[in-house]
A = this chain, B = another copy of it.
């Protein structure tokens, strides 16, 4: 049995693009990609995914909830790290299959599980031949917290050990 849908199914292309009914389009796994940017700096912090429930909880609470694909569960951002995200503005795109969140990050102001402000801490060189191997360079990559300490403590407190994945 299928759970009752929270959001209506998309109707026409015209409705999706020009209408005011929020009818998100989920992919084959029931997810939409979500871009979170810093409300303060505009920087892209992370790209994550929401299922229908994560989307509903984010709208309801104004706190970012995601679907963790690796752990296969709903996840309120910051539950482990303390770096929760208060949503300042939430938007959807033309065909309603992507979400943009402008957020204020609590705690260490780090969105990345590696301890950095943003997950996008490495640049790809441009106007080079990609065939011979592309070498990334670190940018804005200072750690705001030590992931070893943060995640070990939280997991220990909950009596679970975090897997290497």
Contacts and interface: CB of A to CB of B under 8 A. Distances in A.
B37 A44 contact: yes
User: Interface size for chain A: under 10, 10 to 19, 20 to 34, or 35 or more residues?
Assistant: 35 or more
A100 to B, nearest CB: 5
A59 B125 contact: yes
Interface string A125-138: 11111110111111
Contacts of A113: 94
A56 interface: yes
A94 B119 contact: yes
Contact of A128 (B18, B19, B59): B59
A20 interface: yes
Given A21-B133, A136-B20, A47 B98 contact: yes
Contacts of A124: 22, 59, 90-92, 99
A137 B165 CA distance: 40
A33 B61 CA distance: 27
Given A6-B130, A59-B134, A123 B91 contact: yes
A47 B33 CA distance: 9
Interface of A: 6-8, 13, 17-22, 33, 35, 37, 41-44, 46-47, 55-56, 59-62, 87, 89-94, 98-100, 112-114, 116, 119-131, 133-139, 164-165
